[in-house]
């Protein structure tokens, strides 16, 4: 009898950094690495969507991820190049995602 896998869990990630428009070349390089990191995770099927939110009170980024457990989402956050150097702070929130039927 085949072993049934546990269903994937979904989380909303919210990333916030300094609220300013002018960033240094070093910060731009870190943010480029941040985007490349999450793009790689999207290509691997872990990230369903990610990007900046242009909120009038201040921009922030969001991502929706599909993982096996809480430990995996925390590892994803910890490995983000912008989080590693404290340029961004990221919080995660469990969600009950409604997905398209396959």
HSE of 42 in the Cβ direction (CA atoms, 13 Å)? 12
Rounded to an integer, the average pLDDT of 21-27 is 85
Cα gap 61→5, rounded to integer Å: 31
Tell me the per-residue pLDDT of 39-85, one tens digit each, with 9 for 90 and over.
Answer: 999 999 999 999 999 888 888 999 999 999 999 999 999 999 999 99
Q: What are the domain boundaries of the chain?
A: 9-92
pTM > 0.75 = yes
Cβ neighbours of 10 (radius 10 Å)? 18
Provide Rg for the chain, Cα atoms: 15
Domain 9-92 fold is: Alpha-Beta Plaits (3.30.70)
Cα gap 54→25, rounded to integer Å: 22
């Amino acid at each position: 009898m085949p072993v049934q896998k546990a269903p994937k869990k979904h989380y909303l990630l919210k990333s916030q950094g300094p609220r300013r428009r002018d960033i240094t070349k070093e910060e731009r390089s870190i943010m480029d690495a941040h985007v490349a990191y999450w793009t790689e995770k999207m290509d691997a099927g872990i990230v369903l969507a990610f990007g900046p939110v242009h909120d009038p009170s201040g921009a922030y980024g969001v991502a929706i991820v599909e993982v096996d457990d809480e430990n995996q989402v925390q590892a994803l956050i910890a490995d983000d190049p912008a989080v590693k150097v404290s340029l961004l702070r990221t919080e995660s929130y469990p969600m009950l995602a409604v997905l398209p039927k396959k």
